[in-house]
C-alpha cells in the first residue's frame, strides 16, 4: 500500500486509475494539472505520481523536474497514448520510472503501482543510509548524538550493514518518542511515507503507540 497522486485533466481517466489502485488499498489523491500537483508535493509525501504527458497547464515532465529540484524521492509513471512510445522511452531517460499506454488495464495499473512503490521505498532507504554514512568522518567517529551506537575508532573489519541498521533503528525509536508515538508524525519528520515507516517498524520489531512510547515487541 502506498500514497499515490493522480495528475490528469480528464476526470474519467483519474476515476479509472483510482478504481484499480483502491483494489490494493493505496491512498489516492486526484488533481488536474501541474500547479495543483506541485502544491500537493508540499502538502504530503507521495510514493508514486501517475501523470499525463500533456496537461492543461504544462507537461507531466515538469513535475519530474520539480521533484528533482526539491530532492523528493518519488517514482513517476507517465500516462501516454499509442504512437508515442519513443517519447515515453525518452522520458524514462529523464527520470520517469514507467509508462502506461491507453487503454489503461486495471491489472497493468496495479502492477505498475506496486513496482513504483517498491522502488520509492528502496530509494528512500538508500537515501537514509547515505545520510547516516555522512555522519561519520574518516576516523569512524559519528558527528551527532548517536555516537554511543558506534566505537570512536572502527576496527579494520566490521559489519557496516549491521552498524547502519542499528543507527537507523535507534533513529526511528527516537523519532517515535519525539512524535508522541504517532506514526504519521514520525514518518513526516523522517521524510518517509507511512507505509515505508510501517515496513521498518516490522523489520526492526518496534512497537509504537499513541501514549508517547516505543518499545521492542
What CATH number should be reported for the domain holding residue 10? 3.40.50.2300
Whether 199 and 118 have beta carbons less than 8 Å apart is answered as no
What is the pLDDT at residue 139? 46
Put simply, whether the predicted model's pTM sits higher than 0.85 gets the answer no
Whole-number pLDDT of residue 153:
47
Same domain, 109 and 145: no
Reported as a single tens digit per residue, the pLDDT across 33-92 is 999 999 988 877 899 999 998 888 888 888 888 888 887 889 999 998 776 667 777 787
Low-confidence ranges of the chain (pLDDT < 70): 83-85, 133-161, 163, 208-217
* Residue 84: predicted pLDDT: 66
Pair 148, 86 in one domain? no
pLDDT of residue 10: 93
CA–CA distance, 37 with 197 (Å, rounded to integer): 24
Please report whether residue 128 resides in a domain.
no
Predicted local distance difference test score (pLDDT) of residue 159: 61
Q: Is there a single domain that holds both residue 7 and residue 104?
A: yes
> Which backbone phi and psi does 24 adopt, to 5 degrees?
-105, 15
For residues 142 and 101, membership in a common domain is answered with: no
Structural domain includes residue 165: yes
Question: Is 80 in the same domain as 161?
Answer: no
Q: In which domain, by residue range, is 117 found?
A: 3-122
In a domain, 167, yes or no: yes
What total of structural domains would you count in the chain?
A: 2
Amino acid at each position: 500500500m502506498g500514497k499515490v497522486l493522480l495528475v490528469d485533466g480528464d476526470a474519467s481517466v483519474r476515476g479509472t486509475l483510482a478504481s484499480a489502485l483502491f483494489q490494493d488499498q493505496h491512498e489516492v489523491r486526484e488533481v488536474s494539472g501541474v500547479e495543483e500537483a506541485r502544491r500537493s508535493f508540499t502538502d504530503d509525501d507521495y510514493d508514486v505520481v501517475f501523470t499525463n504527458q500533456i496537461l492543461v497547464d504544462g507537461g507531466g515532465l515538469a513535475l519530474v523536474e520539480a521533484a528533482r529540484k526539491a530532492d523528493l524521492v518519488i517514482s513517476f509513471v507517465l500516462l501516454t497514448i499509442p504512437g508515442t512510445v519513443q517519447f515515453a522511452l525518452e522520458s524514462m531517460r529523464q527520470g520517469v520510472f514507467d509508462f502506461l499506454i491507453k487503454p489503461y488495464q486495471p491489472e497493468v495499473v496495479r502492477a505498475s503501482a506496486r513496482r513504483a512503490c517498491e522502488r520509492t521505498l528502496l530509494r528512500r532507504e538508500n537515501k537514509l543510509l547515505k545520510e547516516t554514512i555522512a555522519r561519520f568522518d574518516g576516523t569512524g567517529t559519528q558527528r551527532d548524538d548517536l555516537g554511543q551506537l558506534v566505537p570512536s575508532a572502527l576496527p579494520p573489519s566490521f559489519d557496516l550493514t549491521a552498524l547502519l541498521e542499528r543507527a537507523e533503528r535507534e533513529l526511528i525509536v527516537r523519532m517515535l518518542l519525539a512524535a508522541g508515538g504517532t506514526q504519521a508524525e514520525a514518518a513526516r519528520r523522517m521524510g518517509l511515507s507511512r507505509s515505508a515507516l510501517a515496513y521498518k517498524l516490522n523489520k526492526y520489531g518496534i512497537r509504537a503507540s499513541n501514549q508517547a512510547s516505543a518499545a521492542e515487541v
